[in-house]
Amino acid sequence: MAVLGLADPGDGDWARLRGLQYSSLARVSRLRIAANLIAALGVVWVYFSALHPALLAMWFAALCGSLWHTAGIDKALADADRRRMSRDEVNRQSRGSIYNALVWVVPLAGFAPFGTESARLELWAITAMLMTASAVLLPAVPLGNLLFAGIVGGGAFAGFAWAGSYEMALLSLVFVGVVALGSVENARSFLTARIAESAMAEKSEVVSLLLREFEEGEADWLWQIDTSRRVRSVSPRFAYALGLSHEEIDGKPFIQLIAGPAWDTGQFPSSLHDLAERLKRRESFSNLLVRVTINGQQRWWELSGTPKLDENGNFDGFRGVGSDVTEQRESSEKIAHMARYDTLTGLPNRMMVTEALGEAMRYAEQWRTRCAFLMIDLDRFKAVNDTLGHLVGDQLLARVSDRLKTVISDNELVGRLGGDEFAIVIRDASDHTRVTRVAQAVIEVLSRPYEVDHHTLYIGASVGSAIGPRDGTTVETLMRNADLALYRSKEEGGGLHFGYEPALHAHAEERRKLEFSLRRALENNEFVLNYQPVVDANDETIVSFEALLRWHSEEHGLVSPVKFIPLAEDTRLIVPIGEWVLREACKEAKKWPGNVKVAVNVSGEQLLDAGFIASVVSALSISGLPAQRLEIEVTESIFVRDSNTARAALEQIMSLGCGIALDDFGTGYSSLAYIRNLRFSTIKIDRSFVQGAATGSPESLAIIRAVVAMAESLEMSTTAEGVETERELEIIRGLGCRKIQGYYFGRPMPSAEARGLFAHSNLRAVNE
């Protein structure tokens, strides 16, 4: 079926083989036409007296048309041996054969009844001759032959049977079968021969290409030595590679030429020893990497050689090829080093640390000892990177790596996992106190101040550890468990070391479930806003409310904001949640008296989001709340990540008419530059200073006075947070704060209760 062109097996390029078959049609196209025309003239001669000349002429014209059509198809396939044939081209050629055969059926079926028995035999002889000629001329295309012979033979069979010549009808069938079998076998032989020719041509081309590349290459040479291992038949390139003349090389020992000073000292590299042994044992070798010394320089050669024999089969020396691969060797070594070491710090990278941990675990399992894995994360590094730039951050990481090297011994390996994460593998942790000592030493040494680019920097380190095989029997498990311990260290405030405990898995699972529930909280309407009043310090009337988000989870119950707000920021869910808070707060504030504002807390993730300004505009327009009644509360930490973007976003908010409040002033990355560059409407004094002032702390009193004085001079308002007692109220009022917020005047409350407060002029009386 494949030879006929009716199937394309998957074990070869049959589209290419079809091209080899059908390209032969163009070469015999004229012979085919000549054979058909000669046969047609014979038919006309036989039936000229029996049929009207016009009928014969019409048939002859139809035959010429079919021959013209098939000749065009054959011509289009002239280049088929240089490309792949499509199935459409095969079908088109087959249809041409069918058309030609149908033209020849006409005399067999239509002319025969009008002639004599002798004329029918002559007609059969002509068509048999034509089928034979087709099989001979077209051995490569058996499908066309089979179609032609089958149709024409079928017509002859029908004609003889109609006339009652059953012997001739049977003979015609036998003849068609013989032609068909011959066509298939001829095609098989033809195709096999063409495949062999093509393969030989391809091999010849490959050999020529290889020889040409070898002749043109400058890095390869031929070498030859005799039975005494002395160089003979020196090639020019070999002499050039040695840097010596032909006379200086010929007859010299091969090993002496490439050994350099080692020939006299006897201190041969192991690779030269290996080469000498193979030559001594008369063994073939291929791509043997040998370190040689040429003109006092260390080089790397790649040699291949095979013993040569004389006509009697006796050993007659060696011949082979070689090339200088020094540059490739150095490049591969450099690449290997880069693949295993961190380019910034020079420490082993994650891949090498992982391999070292795997080896330590195998050693621990073999000798029934323990190993350990410590993960280290730098505290406050991100603030340095964002405020002073990546160049200073990279220099700081290099200093950190230098300090880590001083902590470890030969029993440990320290590496950088990426970013500001490092790791230490302790191969033998049988001493239970070793892990704790290393972790504490890391925290202590990394917490010392750094002098980088005229900056004095203070960072710290958090460490999590896991012991193998106790805390994990695989590298992945041990690293994951150390990471869980590190996460706990970060949660506890940093600067601490925690070892892995099974309970950490439960904590991680709880966090995962909490995150899953948080992702569905908005669509399940589980969020609600509470409002805490902010009052005028003098007359104690309500001037604004701070909107505070609460989450009543269907699965987890009431979840503290301390738990879910950081989670929302880590997962960037704070952006859609923040948009909802803005809309709900503005909608609720619209129901309040026109002089009461609403304050909404905005995180850095929201402020740096490209759609934040649009969400503020949308919340105001949908609710109808005037922009002057909306105050956006931000903390100083937003300026650490991208101060330019944060300042641009706040300026756009102020241009809308909204107020900007700086929350928790004095507790974070306080800088007067923020206040100088942005006109905040309110500065909120953290509750820690309020409590300190109430206990008579001179530092807290001085800070509050300074903030109030600064705000007054810059025409900004001040709000004291966390006022809970009358003593705190009197002190804060005496220090000059304009607004007060705290439990003394009201806890966060639902919106309905907040609206009910407007019926009272004095909140102190309500709370009492």
Summarize pLDDT for 217-269 with one digit per residue, the tens: 544 788 899 988 999 888 888 888 888 888 888 889 999 999 888 888 878 88
Contact of 496 with 379, CB cutoff 8 Å: no
pLDDT at residue 345, as a whole number:
92
User: Across residues 598-625, what is the average pLDDT?
Assistant: 92
Handedness of CA 481, 487, 489, 495 (dihedral sign): positive
**CATH T-level assignment (fold) for domain 521-767:** TIM Barrel (3.20.20)
Average pLDDT, the chain: 83
Tell me which amino acid residue 659 is.
G
Tokens encoding 622: 């949908």
Q: Quick one: pLDDT at residue 3? A: 60
User: pTM of the predicted model, to two decimals?
Assistant: 0.48
Using alpha carbons, select from 74, 213, 63 the residue that is nearest to residue 127. Answer: 63
Q: Which residues of 598-615 are buried (b: 16+ CB within 10 A; e: fewer)?
A: bbbbbbbbbbebeebbeb
Range list for CATH 3.30.70.270 in the chain: 341-501
Token readout for 172 is 């015609």
CA dihedral 441, 447, 448, 449 (to 10 degrees): 160
Half-sphere exposure of 397 (CA within 13 A, CB side): 25
What integer is the mean pLDDT of 103-126?
A: 72
For 510, the enclosing helix (H) or strand (E) is helix 503-521
Residue 713: how many other CB atoms lie within 10 Å? 8
- Proportion of the chain above pLDDT 70, given as a percent: 84
Residues 9, 14, 15, 20, CA torsion sign: negative
**pLDDT in the model for residue 195:** 67
State how far the alpha carbon of 48 is from the alpha carbons of 34, 100, 457, 627, in Å.
20, 22, 115, 108
The lowest-confidence range among 87-96, 510-519, 599-608, 654-663 is 87-96
Predicted pLDDT at 737: 92
- Alpha-carbon torsion (39, 41, 46, 48), positive or negative: positive
Q: How many CB atoms lie within 10 A of CB 246?
A: 11
Which range, of 178-187, 206-215, 356-365, 475-484, averages the lowest pLDDT?
206-215
Give the burial string for 19-37 (b: 16+ CB within 10 Å, else e): bbbbbbbbebbeebbebbe
The residue assigned the tokens 């290996």 is 274
pLDDT at residue 23 is higher than 70? no
Give the integer Cα–Cα distance in Å for 408 and 394. Answer: 22
pLDDT digits (tens, 9 = 90+) for 367-377: 999 999 999 99
CATH architecture of the domain with residue range 220-332: 2-Layer Sandwich (3.30)
**Of 694 and 35, more confident:** 694
Beta strand pairing status for 542-553 and 597-601? Answer: parallel
Exposure string for 197-207, b = 16+ CB within 10 A, e = fewer? eeeeeeeeeee
CATH 3.30.450.20 location in the chain = 220-332
Most confident of 240-244, 383-387, 535-539, 618-622: 618-622
pLDDT score of 206: 47
Q: Give the separation between CA 250 and CA 253, rounded to whole angstroms.
A: 9
Q: What is the pLDDT of residues 553-566, one digit of tens each?
A: 888 889 889 888 88
Lowest mean pLDDT among 447-461, 550-564, 695-709, 752-766: 752-766
pLDDT at residue 105 greater than cutoff 90: no
* Structure-model confidence comparison of residues 625 and 88, the more confident one: 625
Q: Which CATH number is correct for 341-501, 3.30.70.270, 1.10.730.10, 3.40.50.720, 3.40.50.620? A: 3.30.70.270
Q: Are strands 297-309 and 315-324 parallel, antiparallel or unpaired?
A: antiparallel
Select the highest-mean-pLDDT range: 39-43, 88-92, 266-270, 449-453: 449-453
Least-confidence region, from 172-186, 213-227, 466-480: 213-227
Amino acid at 640: V
What's the rounded Cα separation, in Å, for the pair 631 and 228? Answer: 96
